[in-house]
Chain A
Amino acid sequence: TQLLEQSPQFLSIQEGENLTVYCNSSSVFSSLQWYRQEPGEGPVLLVTVVTGGEVKKLKRLTFQFGDARKDSSLHITAAQPGDTGLYLCSRGANNLFFGTGTRLTVIP
C-alpha cells in the first residue's frame, strides 16, 4: 500500500484564521491531487501539482509540492465557514491512493 499520511486529522479554527494541512509519503510521487469533500457529497478536485517545488494558488488556497516530491501542503488564508470540509490528498495514475484526510471546521 502506498501510504499517504495527512495531518492534522482534525482542525477547528475561527473564521479569519490561517491554517496549513500536510500530506506526506515515504516514496516519491509523480503528481499529487488535492480534493475537498463536503458532507453528503463526493470529493471535488481542487488542484493537481506535478513539478517538485511547484506552488499553485486558488483564491485563498495555496498548494505546494515538496522539492523532493514526497510531500505537499495546503495553506488557507483567512479561513471562511465555506472552507469547512474534508481535505484529501491523492496520488497515482489508474490505481489511486488517498490519504485519510484532514477534517476542517471553520467556526463563524
Chain B
Amino acid sequence: EAQVTQNPRYLITVTGKKLTVTCSQNMNHEYMSWYRQDPGLGLRQIYYSMNVEVTDKGDVPEGYKVSRKEKRNFPLILESPSPNQTSLYFCASSPQTGVAYEQYFGPGTRLTVT
C-alpha cells in the first residue's frame, strides 16, 4: 500500500531531551516536507526537501533540524525540545517538486514537551 508513515504517533517528553520523529514514504517521491499544526494557526511548514541531500527552510524552522540521506526517509530532529514545540506534526511527500502536485500526508505525530 502506498503510504507515508510516521513514528512515533504519540510522544511525551521533557524539555531538553533530544528526540527524532521518523518519516518514510514508499512511493519513490522526490519531495518531502514537515509541518506542524496548532489551533488557530493552521498548518505551517517547518522544512522541505526537493531531493536527496537538498533541504530548505519553511515558515517555522527554528528549533528543528532535518536530513535527507535517502529518498524514502526524512527524519525531523528536535535537538533541545521546548514546551512551545508541543504540537501535532505531519510529514508529507509529493511525486515531484514544483507547482500544485498533490501532497500525501502521514497520520501525524502528537508531541507534548513538558
B108→A40 contact, CB < 8 A: yes
Q: Which of B41, B50, B98 contacts A100 (CB 8 A)?
A: B41
Interface string of B33-51 (1 = CB under 8 A from A): 1010000111111001010
Interface size on A, residues (CB 8 A): 24
Q: How far is the CA of A45 from the CA of B104 in the complex (A)?
A: 8
A73-103 interface bits toward B, Cβ cutoff 8 Å, 1 = contact, 0 = none: 0000000000000001010011111111100
CA distance A44 to B33 in the complex (A): 15
Asked if B59 CB lies within 8 Å of chain A CBs, one says yes
Q: Among residues 20 to 67 in chain B, which have CB atoms less than 8 Å away from a CB atom of chain A?
A: 31, 33, 35, 40-45, 48, 50, 56, 58-59
Asked if residues A95 and B48 are in contact (CB atoms below 8 Å), the reply is yes
Q: Which residue of B lies closest to A41 (CB)?
A: B107
Q: Which of B4, B43, B99 contacts A88 (CB 8 A)?
A: B43
Q: How far is the CA of A44 from the CA of B104 in the complex (A)?
A: 7
Identify the A interface with B (CB < 8 A): 1, 30-31, 33, 35, 40-45, 48, 50, 88, 90, 93-101
